C-alpha cells in the first residue's frame, strides 16, 4: 500500500473516531458545539496521534530520510546564492583532496613483485663521514652474498645505451644488472627469458632485455624481436627477453644489459658504484637480516681498516622507491587538508548564522512535537546534501588539479601513469564528501539540539540565548585564521626561497646557450685519446656553425644533479684525517669553456689548447676554493692533488664562483670547484655548450646532424637550453610553491569571509547596544574601535595558535628551501602583518555600519 | 520533555497490558478504535481510560505483527469505520497472554494477600 493511501486511511480512521465520539455525546444530550469541543479535547493532538501511529508502520526511517532530503533540496533551491557559495567552496576543497589522493594511491600502489616486503635494497652507511644510503663496492657485494641472509642478491647500476635502429641512433636509459637481480625480484619475463649466470661471462654478455614500453615504442610490440640482433653502443646485441608492463622501475630505465665485474672493481673496496637489491632468505625477518648484516660489517670493519662503510642498512625496496616523493606528498596532502578544514569551518559558520535566523522555525517545530533528534537528523541531512553536491562538483576541479600536478613530470612521484580518477579515487571522493558533510553539519545540528523552545518562541527576534553560538563561531574563525597562517607561512617561505634562487647570480650567463649531451660508447671509444679527439672535432666544427658564437664542452653542467666530488689534498701539507678531507667538485672542460659560459677570470689564465695530455698537469679553481685554502696568498703557481696517488697539479688560474645548483646547496652548503683540461682528465660523456647569436632552439637540428656526421652511433640527448636546464631541477619546488600559494590565497579569502561573517553578525545582534552607547555620547570612533577590536581579537588568537603550528610544521619544508630558514622571521612577520591587515579590513565594513546606527531606530527596533 | 516523548512513554508503560486488553476486547468479534476504547472503559467500570495516542499506534503495531486484520465496514449508525478483527495467530497470542496474566496476577495476589489482612 502506498504511503499516501495509508496516510489518507489513517486520516479517515481518526475522523470516524471523532464523528462517533461527537455522536455519542450528542445522544447523551450535549449540543453539537459542546460535543465537538469535548470530543476534540478528549482525542488530544490529532497531528501527534498520526505521527506516533505512523511510527508503527516500520519503514518510517527510510521514509523520513526521503522526506528530509526533499525538504533539504527545497531549502537549498530556495537559497540558491547560499547553496552556490557553499557548494563551490566545497568543490575546491574536496577537489584538491581528491586530486592529491589520486597522486597518493598511485604512489602507494604496491610493487608488482611476489612477497614485495622481502625484497630489500642494501645501502652502506658511514656516520663519521655523514654518508647515508651510499652504494656498494664489488668486495662489499661479494661479502654480503656469502652472508647467507639473502636467497639471491643482485647488483644494478645506472647505464645509458646508444641504440641504433636502421640509420637512426638514440640514447636509451637502462640498467646494468646481474642475473640475481631478476631472481631477487622474481618476476617472470613477458616473453623470452631473463639473464642467467652464463650471460654474465665475458664474451657472452652481448645480450639485452627490453621493457614493455621500449618494446612498444621501438619494436612495434613484435614478439619476433626475441633472438634478433640490435646495435647497442655500436656493437650487435641479441634481444633475449621483454619484461611485463608492471615490472618495477628504479628510474627511467627502458633496457637491461648484463653487469660485469671488472678486475679494478673487485680490487677496490672503496669505490662504491652500484646498488644492491636482494630477496631475504626464507624464514629470515627484516630485523634479523639487519642484525646479521650489521654484525658482518663490524667484523669486516676490523679486518679492513680503510674504506669500509661502518654499517649497512637494509631498506624494503618499496620504501626505497617511494621515499623521494613521500615528503612532497605529506606537504601537499597537509595543505589540501588544511584548505578543506578551513572550508568546513567557514561553512559551519554560515550554517550557524543561518540556523540562528531559523531558530523560530526550529523552536516551533519542537513545540509542535517534532523530536530534537529528528531535527538534528534533518539538519545533518541538509549538510550531507550540500557536501555530496560539493563532492560531485569537485570532480571538475580535481581533474584540473590532476592535470596540473602531472604536468610537472616529477620523478619523485612514482607510477605517474596511474594518477587518474579511477573508481578507488571516486570512492574516496564520496567518503570524503560524507565525512565533510558530517564535520561541518555537527555544529548546526548541535545548535538545534540545544534549542530553548519557550525562549525562542517568545523572544525569537532578539536572541540573547545565542551567546554559545557566537562563542562557537568565534572558535571556528580562530581555527581558520590559524590554519591560514600556517599555509601562508609555507607559501611565503617557498616564495622567498624562489626569490633567493632567482636573484642568486649563477656566475655565468645562461641566456642563449644550447646544451647537448653526448655519451661515447666505451667499447668504441675505449682509449682516452679517441674520446679527446672526438670532442675536439665536434667543438671545433660547432664553433664554425652559423649563429654560434663559441662552443665548448664540460663533463657536467653546473646545477646538474650528477656530481663528481673529490677530496682535495695539498702536496706541501700533511694529509688530513679521512673524515676531515675537504670535498671539491671536479669538472673536466674543453678549451674555451669559461669564455663560452662567460665565467669571469679572476687571476692567472683560463685553460686552453696549450694544456695537452702530455704537458704539465694544471688546474683552474674557483674563488671560493682559493679563499678557503690560501686565504692570504696568491694562488697561481701553487699545487693541489685530487687523489692520494695522483700527481700534483699546478694552479694556473682562478675563475669566478658558479652556482652549483640546489642539490649541492642542500647537501653541503657550498663546496669548492676544480676544473681540469679535458685532455688531462678525459671523460666519455660530455655536455656540449654552444653560445648562440640566435634562438638556441633553432640550432638543434644542425647540431644533431653535425654529431651524426662525426659518428652515427653517438646520439645527442638531453637537448636543452641552459635556461631550461637551470629551472629543471626545481620542478618539485615549483609545484609546491604554486600549490601552496594558491591554497594560501584561497584560505586567506575564506578566513576574511569568516571574520567578516562573525563580526557582521555580532554587529547585527548588538545594534541596540550601539544605539544606547551612542545616545549616551559614545563617538563613532569608539564604536568603530569596539567592532574592529573584536575582529582583531579573533584574528590575534588565531595568529598566535597559527604561529605555534607553523613553527612546528615548516620544518617539513626545510629540504625544499634554499637560502631561507624554515623559521624565517621576515616571512613570519610579513604573514602576521598580512593576516592582521585582512582581519582589520574584514571587520571594517561591519564596523562602519555599526557607526551608522540611528539610536532612535535602534532602541525602537524590537 | 516534549509532547511526543510523553506519549511514547505512556505507550511503553502500558504496552504489554494494552495489547492484551485490545486482543481480549476483540475476542468476541470485530470492533473499531472508538468502540475498543468504550469497551475497555465500560468493561473496567470507567477505571481504564485508553488514550487515542496510545490506542492507534498499538492497533497499527498489532496489525503489523499479524495478530489483527482490519477492514472498512458500516457502523450501526451507518457510518464508515475501520474494524479490527483477531487473526488465528492473534487468537493464539491472546491465549498465551491470558495464561501468563492468570499466572502473574495469582502470583502477585499471593504476595499482596487479601486486602483485609492489612487492617
- Chain B: give the shortest CA distance to residue A364, in Å: 12
- Chain A: give the shortest CA distance to residue B32, in Å: 8
**In chain B, domain spans:** 3-106
The span from the CA of A254 to the CA of A462, in Å, is: 73
Please tell me if residue B6 touches chain A, with a CB cutoff of 8 Å: no
* Higher pLDDT pick, A71 / A617: A617
Contact: A16, B7; criterion CB under 8 Å: no
Contact: B8, A16; criterion CB under 8 Å: no
Q: Which of A53, A366, A368, A456 to mutate to test the interface with B (most CBs of B within 10 A)?
A: A53
Q: How many CA atoms lie within 13 A of A856 on its CB side?
A: 0
CB-nearest to B79 from A20, A57, A371 is A20
- Cα radius of gyration rounded to whole Å, chain A: 37
pLDDT exceeds cutoff 90 at A55: no
pLDDT exceeds cutoff 60 at B11: no
Q: Which of A44, A56, A60 to mutate to test the interface with B (most CBs of B within 10 A)?
A: A56
Task: Name the percent of chain A lying above pLDDT 90.
Answer: 35
Between chain A and chain B, the number of residue pairs with CB atoms below 8 A apart is 77
pLDDT exceeds cutoff 70 at B1: no
Strand, coil or helix: B40: helix
* Higher pLDDT pick, A464 / B49: B49
Q: Which residues pair with A208 in a beta bridge?
A: A239
The span from the CA of A265 to the CA of A205, in Å, is: 18
Which distant-in-sequence residues (6+ apart) come within 8 Å of A412 by Cβ?
A: A324, A325, A328, A732
Contact: B56, A13; criterion CB under 8 Å: yes
Count of CB atoms situated within 10 Å of the CB of A701: 9
Give residue A167's pLDDT. 80
The span from the CA of A346 to the CA of A753, in Å, is: 8
CB A849 within 8 A of CB A763: yes
- Chain B: give the shortest CA distance to residue A66, in Å: 21
Contact: B7, A48; criterion CB under 8 Å: yes
- HEC secondary structure over A238-278: EEEEECCCCCCCCCCCCEEEECCCCHHHHHCCCCCCEEEEE
Contact: A44, B61; criterion CB under 8 Å: no
Window 61-80 of B, Cβ < 8 Å to A: 61, 64, 75, 77, 79-80
For residue A471, what is its C-alpha cell? 562563542
- By C-alpha distance, the chain A residue nearest B82 is A13
CB A794 within 8 A of CB A477: yes
For residue A199, what is its C-alpha cell? 650471460
Contact: A20, B34; criterion CB under 8 Å: yes
Strand, coil or helix: A462: coil
A interface with B, Cβ–Cβ below 8 Å: 9-10, 12-14, 16-17, 19-21, 23-24, 43-45, 48-49, 51-53, 55-58, 366-367, 369-372, 453
- By C-alpha distance, the chain A residue nearest B5 is A371
CB-nearest to A52 from B53, B75, B82 is B53
- By C-alpha distance, the chain A residue nearest B31 is A17
Closest to A692 measured CA to CA, from A732, A723, A648 = A723
Strand, coil or helix: A510: coil
Count of CB atoms situated within 10 Å of the CB of A343: 26
pLDDT exceeds cutoff 50 at B13: no
CB-nearest to A48 from B4, B61, B80 is B4
A220-229 own/partner pairs: CB under 8 Å, 24+ apart: A223/A191, A226/A191, A226/A192, A227/A192
CB-nearest to A56 from B5, B32, B61 is B61
What's the rounded mean pLDDT across residues A118-147?
85
The span from the CA of B3 to the CA of A289, in Å, is: 71
The span from the CA of A324 to the CA of A321, in Å, is: 7
CB-nearest to A21 from B34, B53, B75 is B34
CB A160 within 8 A of CB A172: yes
Mean pLDDT of chain A: 86
Contact: A367, B2; criterion CB under 8 Å: yes
Measured between beta carbons, the chain B residues lying within 8 angstroms of A24 are 38
Which distant-in-sequence residues (6+ apart) come within 8 Å of A416 by Cβ?
A: A106, A406, A409, A410
The span from the CA of A834 to the CA of A489, in Å, is: 11
Indicate left, alpha or beta for A512 from its phi (over 0: left) and psi (-120 to 50: alpha): left
How would you class A843 by CB atoms within 10 Å of its CB: exposed for 0-12, middle for 13-18, buried for 19 or more?
Answer: buried
Give residue A361's pLDDT. 77
The fold for domain B3-106 equals: Arc Repressor Mutant, subunit A (1.10.10)
Mean pLDDT of chain B: 81
- HEC secondary structure over A419-430: CCCCHHHHHHHH
pLDDT in tens, A777-822: 888 888 888 888 888 888 999 999 999 999 988 888 887 787 788 8
Q: What angle do the packed helices B3-25 and B52-65 form, to 10 degrees?
A: 60
pLDDT exceeds cutoff 70 at A31: yes
pLDDT in tens, A710-730: 988 888 988 999 888 877 667
Report the b/e string of A679-700 with b at 16+ CB within 10 A: bbbbbbebbbbbbbeeebeebe
Indicate left, alpha or beta for A306 from its phi (over 0: left) and psi (-120 to 50: alpha): beta
- Number of residues assigned to chain A: 862
Q: Which of A428-437, A521-530, A762-771 has the lowest mean pLDDT?
A: A762-771
Contact: A53, B64; criterion CB under 8 Å: no
The span from the CA of A734 to the CA of A107, in Å, is: 20
pLDDT exceeds cutoff 80 at A228: yes
CB-nearest to B52 from A19, A44, A57 is A44
Contact: A53, B3; criterion CB under 8 Å: no
Helix (H) or strand (E) holding A313: strand A311-316
CB-nearest to A17 from B52, B60, B64 is B52
- By C-alpha distance, the chain A residue nearest B78 is A20
pLDDT in tens, A470-517: 788 888 889 999 999 999 999 899 888 888 777 777 889 888 999 999
What's the rounded mean pLDDT across residues A58-63?
64
Please tell me if residue B101 touches chain A, with a CB cutoff of 8 Å: no
- Number of residues assigned to chain B: 119
- By C-alpha distance, the chain B residue nearest A16 is B81
Contact: A371, B2; criterion CB under 8 Å: yes
- By C-alpha distance, the chain B residue nearest A55 is B57
Please tell me if residue B15 touches chain A, with a CB cutoff of 8 Å: no
- Chain B: give the shortest CA distance to residue A831, in Å: 51
Contact: B11, A44; criterion CB under 8 Å: no
pLDDT exceeds cutoff 70 at B7: no
For residue A491, what is its C-alpha cell? 607559501
Give residue A782's pLDDT. 86
Measured between beta carbons, the chain B residues lying within 8 angstroms of A56 are 57, 60-61, 64
Please tell me if residue B48 touches chain A, with a CB cutoff of 8 Å: no
Measured between beta carbons, the chain B residues lying within 8 angstroms of A13 are 32-33, 56, 81-82
* Alpha-helix residue ranges (DSSP H) falling in A313-452: 317-357, 359-367, 372-393, 395-406, 423-449
pLDDT in tens, A655-677: 999 887 666 665 656 788 999 99
Contact: B3, A369; criterion CB under 8 Å: yes
The span from the CA of B35 to the CA of B84, in Å, is: 10
pLDDT exceeds cutoff 80 at A156: yes
Measured between beta carbons, the chain A residues lying within 8 angstroms of B52 are 14, 17, 43-44, 49
The span from the CA of A416 to the CA of A420, in Å, is: 9
Closest to A351 measured CA to CA, from A450, A465, A440 = A440
Q: Which of B52, B62, B77, B82 to mutate to test the interface with A (most CBs of A within 10 A)?
A: B52
Give residue B84's pLDDT. 94
- HEC secondary structure over A24-65: HHHHCCCCHHHHHHHHHHHHCCHHHHHHHHHHHHCCHHHHHH
CB-nearest to A52 from B4, B33, B80 is B4
The span from the CA of A753 to the CA of A745, in Å, is: 12
Please report where in the chains the cell 570532480 appears, as a residue: A395
Closest to A252 measured CA to CA, from A413, A411, A417, A419 = A411
Q: Which of A183-187, A453-457, B63-67 has the lowest mean pLDDT?
A: A453-457
Give residue A801's pLDDT. 94
pLDDT exceeds cutoff 90 at A301: no
A370-375 own/partner pairs: CB under 8 Å, 24+ apart: A370/B4, A371/B2, A371/B4, A371/B5, A372/A448, A372/A449, A372/A451, A372/B2, A374/A64, A375/A448, A375/A449, A375/A451
Query: How far does CA A265 lie from the centroid of its chain?
Result: 38
CB-nearest to A43 from B32, B52, B81 is B52
Please tell me if residue B43 touches chain A, with a CB cutoff of 8 Å: no
The span from the CA of A399 to the CA of A102, in Å, is: 10
Give residue A453's pLDDT. 67
Give residue B9's pLDDT. 43
Give residue A668's pLDDT. 59
| ipTM > 0.90 (yes/no) | no
Q: How far, CA to CA in Å, does B87 sit from each of A99, A798, B90?
A: 61, 68, 5
Give residue A460's pLDDT. 46
Closest to A591 measured CA to CA, from A569, A564, A618 = A618
* Higher pLDDT pick, A320 / A453: A320
Give residue A58's pLDDT. 66
Measured between beta carbons, the chain A residues lying within 8 angstroms of B79 are 16, 19-20, 23
CB A127 within 8 A of CB A311: yes
Closest to A257 measured CA to CA, from A150, A353, A175 = A175
* Higher pLDDT pick, A433 / A51: A433
DSSP secondary structure string, A88-99?
Answer: HHHHHHHHHHHH
Handedness of CA A848, A850, A854, A857 (dihedral sign): positive
CB A661 within 8 A of CB A729: yes
pLDDT exceeds cutoff 90 at B91: yes
CB A730 within 8 A of CB A322: no
- Chain B: give the shortest CA distance to residue A48, in Å: 7
Contact: B60, A45; criterion CB under 8 Å: no
CB B9 within 8 A of CB B17: no
Give the confidence band of A60 by pLDDT, cuts at 50, 70, 90. Answer: low
Longest dimension (CA), chain B: 53
What's the rounded mean pLDDT across residues A453-472?
60
Amino acid at each position: 500500500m502506498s504511503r499516501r493511501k495509508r496516510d489518507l486511511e489513517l486520516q479517515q480512521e481518526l475522523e470516524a473516531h471523532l464523528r462517533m465520539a461527537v455522536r455519542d455525546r450528542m445522544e447523551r444530550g450535549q449540543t453539537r458545539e459542546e460535543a465537538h469541543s469535548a470530543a476534540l479535547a478528549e482525542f488530544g493532538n490529532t497531528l501527534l496521534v498520526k505521527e506516533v501511529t505512523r511510527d508503527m508502520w516500520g519503514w518510517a526511517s527510510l521514509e523520513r530520510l526521503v522526506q528530509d532530503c526533499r525538504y533539504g533540496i527545497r531549502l537549498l533551491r530556495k537559497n540558491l546564492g547560499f547553496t552556490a557559495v557553499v557548494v563551490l567552496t566545497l568543490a575546491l576543497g574536496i577537489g584538491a583532496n581528491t586530486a592529491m589522493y589520486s597522486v597518493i594511491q598511485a604512489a602507494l600502489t604496491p610493487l608488482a613483485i611476489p612477497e614485495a616486503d622481502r625484497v630489500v635494497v642494501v645501502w652502506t652507511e658511514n656516520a663519521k663521514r655523514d654518508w647515508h644510503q651510499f652504494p656498494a663496492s664489488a668486495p662489499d657485494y661479494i661479502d654480503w652474498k656469502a652472508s647467507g641472509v639473502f636467497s639471491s642478491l643482485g647488483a644494478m647500476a645506472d647505464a645509458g645505451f646508444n641504440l641504433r635502429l636502421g640509420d637512426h641512433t638514440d640514447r636509451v636509459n637502462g640498467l646494468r644488472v646481474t642475473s640475481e637481480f631478476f631472481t631477487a625480484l622474481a618476476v617472470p619475463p613477458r616473453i623470452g627469458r631473463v639473464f642467467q649466470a652464463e650471460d654474465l661471462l665475458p664474451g657472452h654478455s652481448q645480450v639485452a632485455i627490453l621493457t614493455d614500453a621500449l618494446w612498444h615504442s621501438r619494436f612495434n610490440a613484435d614478439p619476433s624481436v626475441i633472438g634478433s640482433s640490435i646495435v647497442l653502443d655500436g656493437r650487435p646485441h641479441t634481444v633475449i627477453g621483454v619484461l611485463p608492463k608492471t615490472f618495477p622501475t628504479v628510474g627511467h630505465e627502458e633496457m637491461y644489459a648484463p653487469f660485469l665485474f671488472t678486475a679494478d672493481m673487485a680490487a677496490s673496496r672503496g669505490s662504491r658504484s652500484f646498488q644492491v637489491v636482494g630477496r631475504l632468505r626464507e624464514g629470515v625477518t627484516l630485523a634479523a637480516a639487519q642484525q646479521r648484516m650489521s654484525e658482518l660489517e663490524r667484523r669486516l670493519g676490523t679486518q679492513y681498516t680503510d674504506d669500509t662503510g661502518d654499517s649497512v642498512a637494509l631498506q624494503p625496496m618499496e620504501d626505497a622507491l617511494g621515499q623521494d616523493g613521500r615528503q612532497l606528498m605529506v606537504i601537499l596532502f597537509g595543505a589540501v587538508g588544511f584548505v578543506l578544514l578551513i572550508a568546513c569551518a567557514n561553512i559551519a559558520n554560515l550554517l550557524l548564522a543561518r540556523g540562528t535566523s531559523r531558530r523560530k522555525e526550529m523552536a516551533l517545530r519542537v513545540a509542535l512535537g517534532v523530536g530534537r533528534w529528528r531535527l538534528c537528523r534533518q539538519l545533518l541531512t541538509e549538510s550531507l546534501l550540500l557536501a555530496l553536491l560539493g563532492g560531485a562538483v569537485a570532480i571538475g576541479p580535481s581533474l584540473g588539479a590532476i592535470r596540473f600536478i602531472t604536468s610537472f613530470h616529477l620523478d619523485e612521484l612514482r607510477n605517474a601513469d596511474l594518477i587518474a580518477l579511477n573508481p578507488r579515487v571516486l570512492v574516496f571522493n564520496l567518503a570524503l564528501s560524507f565525512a565533510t558533510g558530517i564535520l561541518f553539519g555537527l555544529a548546526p545540528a548541535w545548535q538545534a539540539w540545544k534549542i530553548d523552545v519557550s525562549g525562542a518562541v517568545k523572544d525569537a527576534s532578539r536572541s540573547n540565548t545565542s551567546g554559545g553560538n557566537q562563542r562557537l563561531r568565534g572558535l571556528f574563525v580562530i581555527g581558520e585564521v590559524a590554519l591560514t597562517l600556517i599555509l601562508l607561512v609555507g607559501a611565503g617561505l617557498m616564495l622567498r626561497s624562489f626569490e633567493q634562487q632567482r636573484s642568486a647570480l649563477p656566475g655565468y650567463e645562461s641566456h642563449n646557450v644550447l646544451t647537448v649531451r653526448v655519451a661515447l660508447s666505451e667499447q668504441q671509444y675505449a682509449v682516452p685519446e679517441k674520446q679527446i679527439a672526438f670532442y675536439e672535432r665536434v667543438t671545433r666544427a660547432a664553433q664554425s656553425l652559423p649563429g654560434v658564437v663559441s662552443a665548448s664542452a664540460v663533463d657536467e653542467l653546473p646545477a646538474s644533479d650528477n656530481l663528481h666530488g673529490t677530496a682535495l689534498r695539498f702536496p706541501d701539507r700533511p694529509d688530513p684525517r679521512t673524515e676531515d678531507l675537504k670535498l671539491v667538485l671536479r669538472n673536466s672542460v674543453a678549451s674555451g669553456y669559461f669564455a663560452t659560459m662567460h665565467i669571469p677570470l679572476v687571476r692567472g689564465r683560463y685553460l686552453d689548447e696549450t694544456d695537452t695530455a702530455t704537458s704539465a698537469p694544471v688546474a683552474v679553481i674557483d674563488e671560493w676554493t682559493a679563499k678557503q685554502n690560501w686565504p692570504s696568498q696568491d694562488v697561481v703557481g701553487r699545487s693541489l692533488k685530487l687523489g692520494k696517488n695522483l700527481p700534483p697539479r699546478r694552479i694556473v688560474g682562478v675563475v669566478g664562483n658558479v652556482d652549483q645548483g640546489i642539490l649541492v646547496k642542500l647537501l653541503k652548503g657550498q663546496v669548492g670547484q676544480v676544473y681540469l683540461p679535458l685532455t688531462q682528465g678525459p671523460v666519455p660523456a660530455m655536455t656540449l655548450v654552444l653560445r648562440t647569436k640566435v634562438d638556441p632552439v633553432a640550432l638543434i637540428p644542425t647540431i644533431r646532424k653535425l654529431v651524426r656526421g662525426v659518428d652515427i652511433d653517438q646520439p645527442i640527448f638531453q637537448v636543452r637550453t641552459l635556461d631550461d636546464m637551470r629551472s629543471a631541477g626545481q620542478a618539485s619546488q615549483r609545484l609546491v610553491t604554486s600549490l601552496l600559494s594558491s591554497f594560501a590565497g584561497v584560505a586567506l579569502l575564506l578566513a576574511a569571509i569568516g571574520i567578516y561573517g562573525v563580526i557582521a553578525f555580532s554587529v547585527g545582534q548588538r545594534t541596540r547596544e550601539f544605539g544606547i552607547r551612542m545616545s549616551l555620547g559614545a563617538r563613532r570612533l569608539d564604536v568603530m574601535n569596539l567592532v574592529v577590536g573584536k575582529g582583531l581579537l579573533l584574528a590575534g588568537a588565531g595568529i598566535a595558535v597559527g604561529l605555534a603550528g607553523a613553527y612546528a610544521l615548516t620544518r617539513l619544508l626545510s629540504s625544499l628551501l634554499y637560502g631561507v630558514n624554515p623559521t624565517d622571521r621576515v616571512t613570519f612577520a610579513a604573514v602576521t602583518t598580512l593576516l592582521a591587515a585582512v582581519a582589520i579590513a574584514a571587520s571594517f565594513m561591519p564596523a562602519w555600519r555599526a557607526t551608522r546606527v540611528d539610536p532612535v531606530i535602534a532602541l525602537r527596533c524590537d | 520533555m516534549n509532547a511526543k516523548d510523553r506519549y511514547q512513554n505512556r505507550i511503553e508503560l502500558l504496552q504489554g497490558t494494552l495489547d492484551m486488553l485490545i486482543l481480549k476486547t476483540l475476542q468476541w468479534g470485530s470492533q473499531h478504535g472508538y468502540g475498543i476504547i468504550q469497551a475497555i472503559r465500560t468493561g473496567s467500570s470507567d477505571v481504564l481510560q485508553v488514550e487515542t495516542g496510545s490506542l492507534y499506534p498499538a492497533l497499527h503495531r498489532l496489525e503489523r505483527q499479524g495478530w489483527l486484520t482490519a477492514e472498512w465496514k458500516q457502523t450501526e449508525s451507518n457510518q464508515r469505520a475501520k474494524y479490527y478483527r483477531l487473526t488465528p495467530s492473534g487468537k493464539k497470542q491472546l491465549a498465551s497472554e491470558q495464561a501468563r496474566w492468570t499466572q502473574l496476577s495469582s502470583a502477585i495476589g499471593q504476595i499482596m494477600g487479601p486486602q483485609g489482612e492489612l487492617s
